[in-house]
Structure 1
């Protein structure tokens, strides 16, 4: 997709695809770390120490 940034014609907000993707990835990672939540499309994450 070549459109990286766009303005909403309804509300005028500026949108950046890369920033939005980074925000979603960060939120998913924090959920896994904090809650051990499984993120759609990912296998279970083990939180045990390997030492």
Structure 2
């Protein structure tokens, strides 16, 4: 859930809309996923790290 952070153990691909059992927020599956991916990317950017397309992390410059 992009609202509270709750993760479902599974959600069939045929389910496009769902409600979070923790906070009750209603979500479109794709929009919720995009919001979570954006938040993860912004967290990486805030740390000043570079991430390759393959998922590896490198730190440039001095801290």
Normalising TM by the smaller chain, what interval?
0.5 to 0.7
The alignment's C-alpha RMSD in Å is 3.2
Larger Rg: 1
> What TM-score do you get using the length of structure 2 for normalisation?
0.48
Q: Could you tell me how far apart the structure 1 residues matched to 2:16 and 2:59 are? A: 35
For residue 28 of structure 1, the aligned residue among 2, 15, 40 is 40
- Structure 2 gaps of 5+ residues are 1-12
> What TM-score do you get using the length of structure 1 for normalisation?
0.55
* Higher relative contact order (Cα pairs below 8 Å, separated by 6+ residues): 2
Size of the alignment, in residue pairs? 46
More helix per residue: 1
Retained in 2: the 8 A contact 1:32–1:45?
no
- Structure 1 gaps of 5+ residues are none
More strand per residue: 2
